[in-house]
A and B are shown apart, each in its own frame.
Chain A
Amino acid sequence: MPFKRYVEIGRIALVNYGKDYGKLVVIVDVIDQNRALVDAPDMVRGQINFKRLTLTDIKIDIKRVPNKKTLIAALEAADVKNKWESSSWGRKLIVQKKRASLNDFDRFKIMLAKIKKAGVVRQELAKLKKETTA
């Protein structure tokens, strides 16, 4: 299968190890075979190993090493935040974060909602069963 996600200037990547775990960063330049210079609106531009990055499908249009203002403008223009949060990967991460931050009362509410949902599904199933046997 050919490769679809390339390391290139403007590629958005997710940090999957280390201090900046979970952040979306932009690859603004490549240092050498193992490291890239990355930048994000809320961090100082720095180097990171490719082993700590997971490439995403999103790519923005920037020149090599833009300054912070141009970078933020390019991120806004490409609407990276919304694209990420509406993608299935981004949505899964949001759900994971929500689940990890629940307190006991929230878990109780979820239990009730699950029971209700299962009850409705079972009623529909019973109705369909009756129709097929009748």
Chain B
Amino acid sequence: MSYKFHQFQVVGRALPTESDEQPKIYRMKLWATNEVRAKSKFWYYLRKLKKVKKSNGQMLAINEIFEKNPTTIKNYGIWLRYQSRTGYHNMYKEYRDTTLNGSIEQMYTEMASRHRVRHHCIQVIKTATIPAKLCKRESTKQFHNSKIKFPLVFKKVRPPTRKLKTTYKASRPNLFV
């Protein structure tokens, strides 16, 4: 499964000067499509928090963070700050997914579809893996059932490869199972 958004750990600090021999080192975990963008994002956030810019700072380390258990399902809670047409708002969203990168991708696509918020207007404040008892949204809680059972109601049978796709079909499809 390839994900569009990768998680990076970026570590940087201001350049040492005569007045400050050992500047504080800051570490951020953020999501970006590649390393270059991650570094840029790091400086963007750090500028808003501390008096340091890329021109008077140095990047110490950037590592990609991979999912530890991509074969287990987890409930992810994402706190975000986004810019709508009329102002900034905070939001809390929950997703069920196997990896954190997958749930972040779900979040970006859902914000784009439900609220027309583009990716550059979203800031991820915090993410957490939520145990099932503490989930707030009904849409995630409905899958917390060890005896879950539902039928697949409309089943469109697709050609097994895109090559075998045809524009016209002789008969209407049978959607039952």
Instruction: Name A's B-contacting residues (CB within 8 A).
Output: 1, 3-9, 16-17, 21, 29-32, 37, 44-47, 50-51, 54-55, 63-65
Contacts and interface: CB of A to CB of B under 8 A. Distances in A.
Nearest to B70: A46
B1 interface: yes
Given A3-B177, A16-B157, 20 more contacts: A1-B176, A5-B152, A5-B177, A6-B151, A7-B150, A8-B150, A16-B158, A17-B158, A30-B143, A31-B98, A32-B96, A37-B71, A45-B71, A46-B1, A46-B98, A54-B155, A54-B157, A64-B146, A65-B72, A65-B73
Contact of A47 (B98, B149, B160): B98
Interface string B53-80: 0000000000000000011110000000
A75 B107 CA distance: 37
Interface string B155-170: 1111011000000000
Chain B interface size band reads 20 to 34
Interface in B128-177: 139-140, 143, 146-153, 155-158, 160-161, 176-177
Nearest to A52: B158
A32 B139 CA distance: 9
A46 B71 contact: yes
Contacts of B156: 51
A5 B158 contact: no
A96 B158 CA distance: 18
What 6 pairs across the A-B complex have the smallest Cβ distances?
Answer: A3-B151, A45-B71, A8-B149, A6-B149, A32-B96, A64-B146
